[in-house]
Amino acid sequence: MNTAFFKIRVLACISVLLIASCSKNDDAIDTGGTLNTVAAFSISEDNPLVGENIQFTNESTGIEANSSFDWDFGDGTGSTLKNPTHTYNKLGDFIVKLVAKTGESEDTASKELMVSLSNDISGRTSLKNKLNALNGKIMVCAHRGHHLDAPENSLKSITDAIHSGIAMVELDVRQTKDGELVLMHDQTIDRTTNGSGRVSEYTIQELQQYNLYKDNGMLTTEKIPLLKEVLELSRGKIYIDLDIDQKASFNKVYTLVNQYGMLKQVLFYSSEFSVIREMIHVGNNDIIPMPIVRNQNDFNQYDSFNIDVLQFNVNNSALEQQVHSKGWYIFRNAYVNTSTTPQSDNYAQLNEVITIGGRIVQTDNPVDIIIKLQSQNLND
């Protein structure tokens, strides 16, 4: 009798435990779908342009008909639609956020989005097309900008070049302590500003306390410019030769140039084979790498590369013929970092450029060179 009663009590307890266990599992199943909302989305364009309509596709899971969505496009606007579209009216780097909510369950997803300007500029010829259409004429490049009445590598040196009808400016790029790209030829700011120290030891904000000198030693109100300011100023107005040689990361400079829609207007100069190879390996045909050929070994290194223009400052007729046989355009210096002027040597250095078939001449005397070339119908 006692044994039977004991068995009944054991069975009853087991039944209660099973029921309780099933009830807990059922509760987890009932609430699991509503409490496991996971926000996710995709963007129709990996590299959207300003003014381009972008589709945002909601890929969230654990959502129902009554789920709500809150989009933040990072530019001060948003949406509550499930799958919104949006157009950015300015370039920039934006953080897009989606908050998906179902009942008490909520989740957030975010992505970085770089919005760029188009590299096709209305009414502006690409640099490659400009070079291909020279028909024997020569472009003039102002070394470190047009710094006759402005500091070198300054915004004014670019503005003065534009106003003087100079086709191209050569500018030097370096990186600050906080990763900003600025114009500066030297490693330090000692020679060109009223400050001292390495560019890489300053943040951009700290650099703004200093002013730039003109060549004659006069202190100006000009500040060390950001590369982004330079690209914004130059877009659609002037070509640029960016000298990054042992100064700045190509990838970082390239990304900014591309974002500001200036890729088809720019040369990237470096004397380092590894950097030129990096430019080629990006696989973007709009990039114009400019190596320097100083000897046969340099030529051999670049022989198989898809090069449009190179810097060539040596007097070597055999090497010159090889360069021309490749169809490479010659970029050559005349009156750079020297006290010799076009007038003092009767334009001898310019005549060398003309004789070897140079297509871009870089100089500290751009206006004088333009006038001389135009007198010979060699510059528009």
List the catalytic residues: 143, 185
Burial of 189 (0-12, 13-18, 19+ CB in 10 A): buried
Query: Which pairs with CB-CB distance under 8 Å and at least 24 residues apart come from 282-291?
Result: 282/254, 286/119, 286/126, 287/254, 287/263, 288/127, 288/128, 290/241, 290/331
Instruction: Transcribe 165-178 into DSSP letters.
Output: T-SEEEEEEEE-TT
Q: In this structure, what are the phi and psi dihedrals at residue 18, rounded to the nearest 5 degrees?
A: -65, -45
Q: Name the amino acid, one letter, at 105.
A: S
Sheet with 41-43, side-by-side order of all strands: 41-43, 53-58, 85-87
Print burial letters for 156-188: b (CB count within 10 Å at least 16), e (below 16).
bbbbbbeeeebbbbbbbbbbbeeebbbbbbeee
Q: Maximum distance among all alpha carbons in the chain? A: 130
Q: If residue 98 lies in a helix (H) or strand (E), which one and from where to where?
A: strand 92-102
